[in-house]
Structure 1
Amino acid sequence: MRFTVWTKQKEIQYSTTLLSKASVFYVISTLLTVIPPLLIAYRSQGFWMKVSTYREQPKIHFTNNFLVILEKWDNDYLIWSTNDEHLTSETESRVRIPATTWREQDWNRDGIPDSLHLDLNFPLRQDETVTSVQALLLFNYQLNSFSYFEMTGLVYLDGAHCARGVANSIGQAGHTMHTLADVRLHQRQLLPNKGRDNRYLPSPLPENSGDPVDVITILRENSKRNMSLRLENRQTIWKQDGSAGFRLSVDLTYPEETVEYKPGFWQMIKWGWLQYLAVLVIFVYIFHSVKTFVFSNQILPTLIHNDSK
């Protein structure tokens, strides 16, 4: 009983002069093996990787800077801001200082906050009723898996309870508005694959303006940013609890983010090579069979060298 322990193929060489039909055929067939796969891979889209994504848990920290406007049933409003520059002489009679409590929680204990709970309790008079809320919250936002990106992000939330000017709203102070949402990154531009980007680190809220706060202008300027924050999966609940003030309760989560970035040179080359190789294998097999048929059958005359003795 015998079994094969090693296999060696017999090598046959076909040689010819430099200027011959066989040499011309070899050069043309080699070019047709290499060049068409490159053209096919390039023209079929996806040859160069222009956009890539990765998952990262962003580092988000509430800066304890915010602006809140409470609109009342009589078309008047109350305001509070942690920046004194937003409280002008025109708003002095409308300023209400809330009792503020907030905390960030790290659920998986990885050193990165996962959620924020914020409570603002505004004192109200008996004849005051809050019908809608506008709040601007500032966050420090960081990404550092590839390029280092840091910005001061603005989160806008609002909510309305009932129509303005409703007569039976008088004396119904003590509403509570609960908001639950996810803080997500909104991209209009790809992040670089390396370097440092902190162009949006300045606060989106105006400072030292001396003019009354205009929420529309603030949001319009913030929307011009290529990188900004948005609230998603948002749910708002109003509740009548009979207390003597108005409570704004906010629960925000910081989920893992899918970040788009511009691939580096070597990542693009690696991806392009895979696309080219996938087509090249087919052409190599086809033209190898053609060469074998042409030379083994001596369709183009060559000198045969056999290594067998």
Structure 2
Amino acid sequence: MFVIVVLCLTYIPPLLVAYRSQGFWIKRSTYEEQPVVRFQYQTLLVAATSTQGDYVAWSTFPHLNNMLGDNLRIPAVSVREEDQNQDGKLDRLTFRLELPLQPEEQVYSVQLLLTFSYQLFRMSTVVMQSLAYVQHSSSVPGAKLFISGDLRLQQKTPLPHRGLYNIYNMSVIDGSSPFASAYDLDNIIGSYQERNLTTVLSCPMPVWTVGRAAGSPFQLNVSSFKQIVTHPNPLLMFDCHYVIFFTSTLTVSTYRPGFWETIKFAWIQYVSVLLIFLWVFERVQRFIFQNQVLTTVPIPVGKPHLS
């Protein structure tokens, strides 16, 4: 009976101690992975041209462009995706847009949506469509806007540790819809933020350049990546230049561990406490038996000697 009690006190309390120390079962874990990100060539631009609510807009969605009427402006757009470290995954997106304006128009704010295909493969296979929202406003009309930032993953719940996770593999903007509500920025951003897995443009660095006089032509310095659009009338241009680094740093993802990973972590917690109890109760038993604290009957080990 004494030995049974000692065994129970040796192996059960370490389990209770490890469990009550808030670290027995691992519920969440993290890992780093470089995502595969590709620009989907879907864009929605809204630029405020006055402080009274006037605006011009453009998108890659024909239904929206048909609804804009006189507010539609067709820009010159150039896009470049680069793999800077030559590892087979794109590291940077350079997006440049030149927006034509009438001589009396000025730009006070810009809102831009860019959509991406985002994929992870190390644990569960994550395939989703995401977006980057860029906006900047100023009380002073601008001639140029430059923004540089990182496209980062944002999670509300952990990912599964294996399998295919593609519940968000659908277009963020419904380009086939003929209704204006499908292209409203409030509806798009509100619906997007309800997702458990999104991407955000982290640490944007806007540079707002002013100095364009009303009625004067805008001088263009064209690089080899720009496309020039000629217009029948002399129009001014508002230059938007965006540089987005979307895989230059590793993405830290949170996930729910599987059974074997959970057991492995729990076993380490249990054994670390069990070793102390084994050491203590081994000496307790030795003291009890050597000092005859309990009535004991010595039993010879091996075969008895026959005389």
TM-score > 0.5, shorter chain as reference = yes
SS in structure 2 at match of 1:229: strand
The alpha carbon displacement at 1:295 in A equals 1.5
**Structure 1 unmatched ranges of 5 or more:** 1-23, 164-168
The alpha carbon displacement at 1:208 in A equals 3.1
AA partner of residue 93 (structure 2) = L
The alpha carbon displacement at 1:230 in A equals 0.8
Partner Cα distance (1:194, 1:305) in 2: 57
AA partner of residue 22 (structure 2) = Q
Q: Which position in structure 2 is the counterpart of 1:177?
A: 145
Deviations 1:101-151 (A, max 9, x none): 111122221111111111011111211111100001000000010100011
User: How many aligned positions are there?
Assistant: 275
The alpha carbon displacement at 1:304 in A equals 4.4
SS in structure 1 at match of 2:284: helix
Partner Cα distance (1:161, 1:287) in 2: 74
AA partner of residue 241 (structure 2) = S
Range with greater deviation from structure 2 (50-59 or 101-110): 101-110
Q: Which position in structure 1 is the counterpart of 2:255?
A: 261
The alpha carbon displacement at 1:302 in A equals 2.6
Partner Cα distance (1:116, 1:162) in 2: 29
Q: 1:34 aligns with which of 11, 14, 27?
A: 11
Q: 2:187 aligns with which of 212, 217, 220?
A: 217
Q: Which position in structure 2 is the counterpart of 1:303?
A: 298
Root-mean-square deviation (CA), in Å? 1.7
AA partner of residue 184 (structure 1) = R
Q: 1:87 aligns with which of 58, 65, 69?
A: 65
Deviations 1:3-26 (A, max 9, x none): xxxxxxxxxxxxxxxxxxxxx000
Partner Cα distance (2:264, 2:79) in 1: 47
Deviations 1:38-96 (A, max 9, x none): 0111111110000000011111111111100111015211111111122233x121111
SS in structure 2 at match of 1:104: strand
Partner Cα distance (1:217, 1:156) in 2: 13
Q: Is the 8 A contact 1:62 1:139 kept in 2?
A: yes
The alpha carbon displacement at 1:279 in A equals 0.6
Matched, 1:251 2:243: yes
Partner Cα distance (1:233, 1:75) in 2: 28
Range with greater deviation from structure 2 (241-250 or 132-141): 241-250
AA partner of residue 292 (structure 2) = Q
Whose radius of gyration is greater, 1 or 2? 1
The alpha carbon displacement at 1:294 in A equals 1.3
Q: Is the 8 A contact 1:206 1:218 kept in 2?
A: no
Residue identity (%): 37
* Structure 1 residue runs of 4 or more that deviate by more than 6 Å after TM superposition: none
**Structure 2 unmatched ranges of 5 or more:** 213-217, 219-235
AA partner of residue 153 (structure 1) = S
Q: Which position in structure 1 is the counterpart of 2:136?
A: 159
Matched, 1:275 2:269: yes
Partner Cα distance (1:225, 1:182) in 2: 20
Partner Cα distance (1:67, 1:33) in 2: 66
Q: Which position in structure 2 is the counterpart of 1:206?
A: 174
Partner Cα distance (1:251, 1:239) in 2: 16
Matched, 1:113 2:83: no
Q: Is the 8 A contact 1:119 1:249 kept in 2?
A: yes
Partner Cα distance (2:297, 2:162) in 1: 56
Matched, 1:99 2:76: yes
Range with greater deviation from structure 2 (189-198 or 80-89): 80-89
The alpha carbon displacement at 1:305 in A equals 3.1
Q: Which position in structure 2 is the counterpart of 1:76?
A: 54
SS in structure 2 at match of 1:123: strand
The alpha carbon displacement at 1:270 in A equals 0.3
Matched, 1:289 2:259: no
The alpha carbon displacement at 1:306 in A equals 5.9
Range with greater deviation from structure 2 (73-82 or 131-140): 73-82
